[in-house]
Chain A
């Protein structure tokens, strides 16, 4: 993004805040890019001849006589097959020492897909993790976040899911990623020999926070190129969306907007929806699936960020440490994949929905029995059995280290049903009972 010759240079900045600066200029387009003393900035407000710029790199050290040059276009990404295997910063500049990517310039944050041109998602994404495949089955074209506390291994699980999913391209959008986590992802991708299907846009904690605002749009513009032009199935990983939303609130705050809940901007829902709704299944095979991470503060999902996210995404995955078995599990109560109804019992075995629901119901009974136990009440025989079931179900199916196919998961569940319960207690439709019941 170099300045070209004969461009008008402005040198009179009239207002500077921590994230924005303003100057007088004419003929400037809304959302146009500019360089402020070599730092990239974007037009966020025009009132008469006063133009306000959001400076991505922060305004530290920007003088009132800074050189401002407008580029006459919104942020763009050059797209071509050469993007594959490359690592970029938030501006789309290579950070892997390789050459600039040549290709067609595309505006990032482009228009939405016409809903009538979408196809209903119907392709299952198998991950081998039963907490996901059995209880919260993922589908191509879906958008789903991990809701996790910062100390949970969400990056590991997400990398595992990415490697096992059969995607043509995996695009990582890292926002506020620690350098260690960035290197972790890089390592996983390299070790899996998957580098040719990987593209990374990374903003680490070493970079200014406002830069993060570009990362999802960069990643999704690349994703749209491969999904629309090349008809590929693309998996986009966005981590951590909470830090993205924090950057939004920094900017809106600097622009004197009235904050709504949890000091987030009033437009948070629309801002997040614009990103997540890029997940799509096209009729001709191309697809964009988004798996994101939203970190919580001590499990609070009523905070504006996870709350708005939950209303936008098609479910959410919760990780929890199960102290009974000493492993991290995918919490079956709080996790949900809304699109699973499109594939379970249809692309998977017919008994899948009922087995899934029954196992969760019995696991809920186990949780009740556990509460009774903790409160010092006597347990009935049924309570005792649910407790044992709960522990084994957690260990054999919910734990994230499980890696088996879906039929195997179902058979395992049937095995546990027969081991601990009577037919009446399990109460699944008789046609499935007759076929799969493993007891007498």
Chain B
């Protein structure tokens, strides 16, 4: 950053939509924040290009009414978030302004509300002792935020080793009160409060190391946990045409995944979808804490009608908040819907700056921007030996549903799990529409995860999963043959092979996200279900003619589906189980 001193000033020299050129009288830095003075309001903007005395800034607001010659004040700081207790259960805009604190029904330009509550008193307990040597990110104390332990850390901006000189005793404090005094190697004193700031575009790297992730992250969604599991600290993406159920799947993940905290970045998507979260999460019981889900959730909302430039910022804001909680040794789940809208925001700006376009008019460095972003997720060991993680799952909205477009392709290179939503499955209402054959989880190939699954589920689990995938593939091939040659043009075994895949599809892959019981399947139940279904697949049923196959398997599927709708191991469930064995015995 540049030297302290007189703040750089500037005057507007041109306006095209939200791209404003400013003539400046002093130094500026790339990504520096400035404020445009419009009558009694200040509009926030970010430097995105500098050309001699001319600075191009993207304005995070509507530029209506701006005039050439208006004053612009530069801040010397990049776009930063404010970190501290009180972030959970808040609804922020893309720049971390608290939406609930804003007045009126409509968003007003320049209505920048504070991110934290500076009045609230927190019950503070110290963790460090006088004389301890500490580094940036080390824990000094703790408060309880809703139900989560929230660590007060040595600010991330601190460089080098510090010694704890004073530490405040337990008590009630607001976020701005000093809770520790540290001294650096030259014996300079620095005061630490419960709050700090951090520039969103720079990753927080105060952890010791970042190993390959190896722990399964349970989501309760069968097509993910059983077939293509994601791990703690893993990355995944969900591309799919509109109407294929991206958002429903993401909402299911946010509600059910085994994470300590959930951060949802609603990036350029529908406002009503965010409202759904606003409405449901405060009501939803959280099985992990016995409280409400909203208490461990933060929402960053930049809906599609909110300013485009803030859309890009919103995903970075969300990631930085996730990194903050990871440093406390928590499991954070970050969901961004949709990263395509973020890429489009980049395209709009690049276009206005008349940069030479890459494919589909996206900026040339799009792949680099995307992989940089995904690389901020991960499982980490902190300096004190504790672990924390950010699992990141983004959705991609490919133009025309065509997966050969720049955003999907760039993301495929960066993310390790690929959950392809298929239009065909969506059309036939096979939800979640995750294509079982195209989708993959690279983590299944990690020896670390294999080891974990063997230990925590069963020795043969991975073989079973591969078996199931194999049945699905053969089922697809058989179905193609049947379609070409006709029902009676193929041996009965083809029909059998087709229907085995259908059983897996209907009973394991398909899941009713709106059914109280079916929406979340425990790992234990998933194990039971996969084994049950594979047992059925292995039986060489006897049929006289092909038209007996279809009704027979439909009966099997029907009973298994009724089971999915029943409480695990309840009487109802066990009755269906008995009914199932009777049906199976008919044709053994």
Residue ranges of A at the interface with B (Cβ–Cβ < 8 Å): 26-32, 44-49, 74, 107, 110-121, 141-142, 228, 257-261, 266-267, 269-270, 273-274, 277-280, 282, 301-304, 307-308, 310-312, 314-316, 333-334, 336, 338-339, 341, 353, 357, 360-361, 364, 372, 375, 377-378, 380-382, 424-425, 427, 429-430
CB distance from A215 to the nearest CB of B (A): 18
18 A-B residue pairs with Cβ-Cβ distance under 8 Å, sorted by A, are: A26-B68, A46-B14, A74-B64, A112-B303, A113-B107, A115-B99, A115-B278, A258-B357, A266-B344, A266-B351, A267-B308, A270-B344, A277-B271, A301-B400, A302-B401, A304-B400, A375-B486, A424-B551
* With A260-B347, A269-B304, A382-B550 as contacts: A30 and B558 at CB distance below 8 Å: no
Q: How far is the CA of A26 from the CA of B348 in the complex (A)?
A: 27
Known contacts A277-B271, A336-B243, A380-B547; can you find 12 more A-B pairs with CB under 8 A?
A31-B64, A107-B64, A114-B106, A115-B301, A120-B278, A121-B272, A258-B361, A260-B361, A261-B361, A303-B400, A307-B242, A378-B487
Q: Is B488 an interface residue (CB 8 A)?
A: yes
Q: Mark B335-350, 1 if CB is under 8 A from A, else 0.
A: 0001001001101100
> Contact partner of B67 among A29, A270, A307, CB < 8 A?
A29
Q: Is the CB of B106 within 8 A of A118?
A: no
Question: Does B256 make an interface contact (CB < 8 A)?
Answer: no
CB distance from B547 to the nearest CB of A (A): 5
B556 to chain A, nearest CB (A): 10
**B305/A112 in contact, CB under 8 A:** yes
Chain A residues with CB under 8 A of B66: 29-30
Q: Contacts A260-B347, A266-B361, A277-B271 hold; do A116 and B14 have CB atoms under 8 A apart?
A: no
B429 touches A360 (CB 8 A): yes
Does B91 count as interface, using CB distance less than 8 angstroms?
Answer: yes
Q: Nearest chain-A residue to B14 (Cβ)? A: A47
Contact A32 B401 (CB under 8 A): no
Q: How many angstroms between the C-alpha atoms of A382 and B549 in the bound complex?
A: 12
Q: Are A114 and B344 in contact (CB under 8 A)?
A: no
> How distant is A424 from chain B, measured CB to nearest CB, in Å?
5
| Bound form: Cα–Cα A107–B64 in Å | 11
Q: A-B pairs with the 3 shortest C-beta distances?
A: A302-B400, A273-B304, A277-B305
A121-B272, A269-B341 known; A427 and B348 CB under 8 Å? Answer: no
Bound Cα distance from A228 to B348, whole angstroms: 32
**B446-489 interface with A by 8 A CB criterion:** 486-488
Q: How far is the CB of B427 from chain A (nearest CB, A)?
A: 5
Q: How far is B17's CA from A269's CA once the two chains are assembled, in angstroms?
A: 15
Judge if B306 is at the interface, Cβ distance under 8 Å.
Answer: yes
Query: Shortest beta-carbon distance, A73 to chain B, in Å?
Result: 9
Check B427 against A334 for contact (C-beta < 8 Å).
Answer: yes
Determine the main DSSP class of B at the interface with A: mixed
Determine the chain B residues whose CB is within 8 A of the CB of A114 once the complex forms. 99, 102, 104-107
Contact of A429 among B102, B429, B562 (CB under 8 A): B562
Q: Which residue of B lies closest to A46 (CB)?
A: B15
> Looking across the interface, which residue of chain A has its beta carbon closest to that of B301?
A115
Q: How far is the CA of A304 from the CA of B242 in the complex (A)?
A: 13
- The minimal Cβ–Cβ distance linking B280 to chain A, given in whole angstroms, is 8
| Most chain B CB neighbours (cut-off 10 Å) among A26, A142, A260, A316 | A260
B208 close to A (CB within 8 Å): no
Whether A357 and B429, one on each chain, are in contact in the complex, defined by CB atoms closer than 8 angstroms, is yes
Point out which of A27, A31, A303 has the most chain B C-beta atoms below 10 A from its C-beta. Answer: A31
Which one of B14, B106, B270, B562 has the greatest number of beta carbons of chain A within 10 Å? Answer: B270
Tell me if B276 is interfacial: C-beta within 8 Å of chain A: yes
Which chain A positions have C-beta within 8 A of B270? 277, 312, 314
Q: Are A378 and B303 in contact (CB under 8 A)?
A: no
**In this complex, what residue of B is CB-closest to A227?**
B105
Contact of B272 among A30, A120, A377 (CB under 8 A): A120
What's the minimum C-beta distance from A248 to chain B, rounded to whole angstroms? 12
Question: Chain B residue with minimal CB distance to A139?
Answer: B272
Q: A82 CB to closest chain B CB, in angstroms?
A: 23
Q: Let me know if B554 and A424 touch, CB within 8 A.
A: yes
**Beta-carbon contact of B14 and A112 below 8 Å:** no
**Do the beta carbons of A430 and B91 come within 8 Å of each other?**
no
